[in-house]
Amino acid sequence: MSCKTTYYRSAIFVALVVGSSLALLTGARAEPITYTLTGMGSGSLDGTSFTNDDVTLSLAMDTSTISPTFFPFMTQNNVSTSPPTVSVAGVGTDTLTPTGGLSVGVYVNRNAGQVGFQVVNPANFVSSFVIWAFNNSAFTSYALDAIGPTMGVPFPGATNTTPTGSGGTFQLSPTMGSTSTFEAALGTPPEIPLPPAIYLFGSALGGAFWMSRRKRNAVTASA
């Protein structure tokens, strides 16, 4: 095999490695996003009742898990495998852990201008029940990205029971006429460090040079 052929093979090898390095650097990176819904409500958390107390639901998610838009209601979902946190002033904090293969997610119904937390089947986004939601005209064009704080009056709904991480349950009935606030805040995406890619690139060049040198020596020795 000629040195020229070896050179071309080495060049291809370098190109492949460099391309992989650039893919690591420039590939699509999902961004962390945290959805938070706060307001006033009554119910119980792990056996302790509360009345018209401040309640906060918080769910750390990722923008890569936002679903496509579903017609005809123009709905989108973002369902997490990690449980959301619920905090009730004067009562405590726990996580929500639905059973039966269900999860807690955030949804938006753009036709209704509605956003909220719901217990949902992550496989098909069929809602089991809504935990807490409210309407605002800003949600008619919302796509579960960063927004808020956005306020509105919660709508009445059935008081359902959601299991908690400590083995108890959570029930909530939003206080009618009060104000609920929804916010979605983007986090800082983790940066992929540059040095490893540079080292990889340098290793590729060194390997290509070594292969070319070795082949040239072999050809010279056999001449």
21-30, 122-131, 145-154, 178-187: least confidently modelled range: 21-30
Overall average pLDDT of the 185-189 stretch: 73
Check whether residue 162 and residue 212 sit in a common domain.
Answer: no
Question: How many Cα atoms occupy the beta-carbon half-sphere of 8 within 13 Å?
Answer: 4
- Which is more confidently placed, 210 or 123? 123
Which amino acid makes up residue 86? V
Question: What kind and span of H or E run contains 59?
Answer: strand 48-62
Same domain, yes or no: 200 and 107: no
176 & 196 share domain: no
For strand 48-62 and strand 32-45, is the pairing parallel, antiparallel, or unpaired? antiparallel
| Domain housing 216 | 3-28+192-222
> What's the gap between Cα 55 and its chain centre?
23
* E strand or H helix that includes residue 208: helix 195-222
Same domain, 168 and 213: no
70 vs 185, higher pLDDT: 185
Q: Is residue 87 located within the same domain as residue 196?
A: no
Q: Helix, strand or coil for residue 160?
A: coil
Residue 204 and residue 178 share a domain: no
Which of 26-30, 81-85, 172-176, 210-214 is most confident?
172-176
CA atoms within 13 A on the CB side of 120: 22
Average pLDDT over residues 89-111: 95
Instruction: Name the domain count of the chain.
Output: 2
Structure tokens at 65: 């898990």
- Look up the pTM and report it: 0.71
Per-residue pLDDT at 187: 82
Q: Do 14 and 44 lie in a common domain?
A: no
Do 99 and 198 have their domain in common?
A: no
Q: What is the percent of the chain where pLDDT is above 70?
A: 70
Among 146, 130, 47, 35, which residue's Cα sits nearest to residue 84? 35
Q: How many CB atoms lie within 10 A of CB 73?
A: 13
- 150 plus 126 within the same structural domain: yes
Per-residue confidence at 37, pLDDT binned at 50, 70, 90?
Answer: very high
pLDDT at 214: 58
Residue with tokens 């792990």: 46
My answer on whether 151 and 203 are in the same domain is no
Q: Which helix (H) or strand (E) holds 75?
A: strand 75-79
- CA dist 220 and 223 (Å) reads 5
* Least confident interval from 13-17, 39-43, 204-208: 13-17
The confidence band for 77, taking pLDDT boundaries of 50, 70 and 90, is: very high
> Exposure of 28 by Cβ count < 10 A (0-12 exposed, 13-18 middle, 19+ buried)?
exposed
Among 18-27, 95-104, 149-158, 176-185, the range scoring the smallest mean pLDDT is 18-27
pLDDT of residue 71: 79
Same domain, 46 and 139: yes
Residues 133 and 148 in one domain: yes
Residue 27: is its pLDDT beyond 80?
A: no
- Looking at every residue in the chain, the average pLDDT score rounds to 80
